């Protein structure tokens, strides 16, 4: 079989005839679902979705990005809602510029596409603090993302505000708008066990709270197998075509919320990517197994502007997605997936309305067949052997299946070909001339320059309140020895440290994406008498994942100076901060 072709006992599976209707009192398109798909205005839908995050591009780019997604065979634009972007200070909201979510949703509608709104409001998303506003940290008694009243109050307030904003603009499909699906929480199953008895009640509460907002469209929870009815549990990851066991009820559709089109990049890590063929194989397999909603995360990654990125994540986000950071089409990925969508959509009627049969074609080969009473038929011939091609017999004809491939037969006879295409890149401009660059020098403060004082080492982020990445730790050190050599030892909980003695740099250290804490041990030269020690602690974004995020600490944890005579622990010395 030509390279690049989408080669992506008999059992019959009938779709249970139960339709879950989401009630709405406003005239518009009714959105419901059954065990086969989402149902919009009475019609089952096979949908391809694209994650495009409004604050990771500019409003001027939104129309072009959405248009290119539509041209690539996309039906739905999916986005998170970014709580700390919209409510940076308690009760103070911003929905302007890149934060103008209403304008973004209306742009989707103008292009004739649907929208999927992942409210969270915890989102992770390699976004600073997982999207939570840092002012939550100072709410008395708060524990994030569990059965904790202070957190639930603020989570419900923000979720309700966003829902009411969408309603006021008539943006839900039940009102005639584009939003057909919403999400509450995000991958909670990953941390639920850490909260013990406080976890399951929170899941039930979050589902009930969301459904009670009466949006008129279904809600989902990703990576939450026990999502309470009527909330749909969905799959995230690269291999949901293989790994997803299916929804927790036969009356819910198979939805893939995040099909990662590549890996996000982190400072200090080698770049990794994912081929168009691997993405296509998993998508075709997911659809073959009963999937009818696939979202690409990301379809356009864009840029983490300012201080919005999470710890050690680069400003360029998912640049290897079908649309690159700047919104240009990336081939072969964009073109390969466009052809995939066309091939699968040509099978829509049997997939949505037919009976599914499975047929063993070999040890690692399987046929998935969708047949309607009218005789209309579509087949997916799957080879999960990643080492060799295999010839199989199907309907008395021989088909050559490449390694890790799915062959799509819209008529159960002829294979649809999906071929690779390439992208040419030329250099537009190089920034390699000295006059293109400017150098900025900071003033290195001493203890005498500072106004914030403490007799202990303060935690970095609780001191800066996430208003800056930088915090100077300074102290005055008296050295009484003719021997000027000593060792400065600093233990940091992350992320970066620059050390200065009497205004001169004496070394730097840093953690990384996998291990944020580190220790700096450097030989320094001290004056006989008073010395100014200035330590610049730097955060490279805040953590965005894990349980008990409110407890995570950064900055300096211990400082020692070792000289020929003794070793002094200065952690409880008199410190100044700036």
- The residues that are catalytic are 187, 258
* Pairwise CA distance, residues 471 & 556, whole Å: 10
DSSP string for residues in 262-301: S---BTTS------HHHHHHHHHHHHHTTEEEEEEEEEE-
Which tokens sit at 98? 């890149």
Mention every residue, 6+ apart, whose C-beta is less than 8 A from residue 410.
343, 346, 347, 378, 416
* Pairwise CA distance, residues 562 & 223, whole Å: 50
* Pairwise CA distance, residues 16 & 355, whole Å: 11
DSSP string for residues in 415-471: PPP---------------SGGG----------GGG--EEESSPPPHHHHHTTS-SEE
Handedness of CA 474, 475, 476, 482 (dihedral sign): negative
* Pairwise CA distance, residues 95 & 89, whole Å: 13
Task: Give the CA count within 13 Å in the CB-facing half-sphere of 518.
Answer: 18
Q: Hey, is 103 helix, strand or coil?
A: helix
Mention every residue, 6+ apart, whose C-beta is less than 8 A from residue 328.
none
């Amino acid at each position: 079989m030509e390279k690049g072709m989408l080669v992506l006992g008999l059992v019959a599976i009938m779709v249970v005839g139960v339709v879950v209707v989401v009630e709405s009192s406003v005239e518009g398109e009714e959105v419901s679902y059954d065990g086969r798909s989402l149902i919009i205005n009475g019609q089952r839908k096979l949908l391809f979705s694209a994650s495009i995050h409004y604050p990771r591009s500019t409003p001027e780019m939104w129309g072009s990005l959405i248009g290119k997604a539509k041209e690539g065979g996309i039906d739905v634009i999916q986005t998170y809602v970014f709580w700390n972007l919209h409510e940076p200070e308690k009760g103070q909201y911003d929905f302007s510029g890149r934060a103008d979510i209403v304008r973004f949703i209306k742009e989707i509608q103008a292009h004739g596409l649907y929208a999927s709104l992942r409210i969270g409001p915890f989102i992770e998303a390699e976004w600073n603090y997982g999207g939570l506003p840092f002012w939550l940290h100072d709410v008395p008694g708060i524990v994030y993302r569990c059965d904790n009243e202070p957190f639930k109050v603020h989570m419900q307030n923000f979720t309700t505000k966003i829902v009411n904003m969408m309603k006021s603009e008539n943006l839900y499909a039940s009102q005639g708008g584009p939003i057909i699906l919403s999400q509450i929480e995000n991958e909670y199953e990953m941390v639920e066990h850490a909260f013990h008895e406080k976890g399951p009640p929170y899941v039930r509460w979050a589902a009930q709270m969301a459904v009670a907002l009466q949006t008129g469209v279904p809600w989902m929870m990703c990576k939450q197998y026990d999502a309470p009815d009527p909330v749909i549990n969905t799959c995230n990851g690269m291999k949901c075509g293989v790994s997803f066991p299916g929804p927790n009820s036969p009356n819910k559709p198979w939805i893939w919320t995040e099909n990662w089109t590549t890996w996000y990049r982190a400072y200090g890590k080698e770049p990794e990517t994912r081929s168009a063929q691997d993405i296509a194989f998993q998508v075709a397999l997911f659809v073959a197994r009963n999937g009818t909603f696939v979202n690409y995360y990301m379809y356009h990654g864009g840029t983490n502007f300012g201080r919005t990125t999470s710890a050690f994540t680069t400003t360029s986000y998912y640049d290897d997605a079908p649309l690159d950071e700047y919104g240009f089409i990336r081939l072969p990925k964009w073109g390969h997936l466009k052809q995939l969508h066309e091939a699968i959509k040509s099978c829509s009627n049997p997939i949505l309305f037919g009976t599914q049969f499975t047929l063993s074609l070999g040890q690692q080969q399987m046929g998935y067949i969708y047949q309607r009473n009218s005789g209309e038929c579509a087949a997916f011939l799957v080879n999960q052997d990643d080492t060799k091609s295999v010839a199989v017999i199907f309907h008395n004809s021989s088909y050559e299946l490449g390694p890790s491939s799915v062959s799509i037969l819209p008529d159960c006879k002829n294979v649809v070909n999906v071929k690779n295409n390439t992208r040419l890149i030329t250099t537009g401009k190089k920034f390699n001339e000295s006059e293109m660059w400017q150098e900025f020098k900071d003033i290195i403060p001493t203890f005498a320059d500072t106004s914030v004082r403490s007799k202990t080492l303060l935690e970095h982020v609780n001191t800066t309140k996430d208003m800056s990445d930088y915090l100077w730790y300074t102290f005055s050190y008296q050295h009484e020895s003719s021997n000027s050599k000593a060792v400065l030892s600093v233990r940091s909980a992350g992320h970066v440290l620059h050390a200065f003695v009497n205004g001169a740099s004496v070394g730097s250290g840093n953690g990384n994406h996998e291990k944020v804490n580190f220790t700096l041990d450097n030989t320094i030269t001290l004056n006989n008498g008073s010395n100014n020690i200035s330590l610049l602690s730097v955060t490279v974004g805040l953590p965005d994942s894990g349980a008990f995020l409110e407890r995570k600490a950064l900055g300096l944890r211990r400082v020692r100076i070792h000289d020929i005579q003794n070793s002094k622990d200065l952690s409880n010395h008199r410190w100044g901060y700036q």
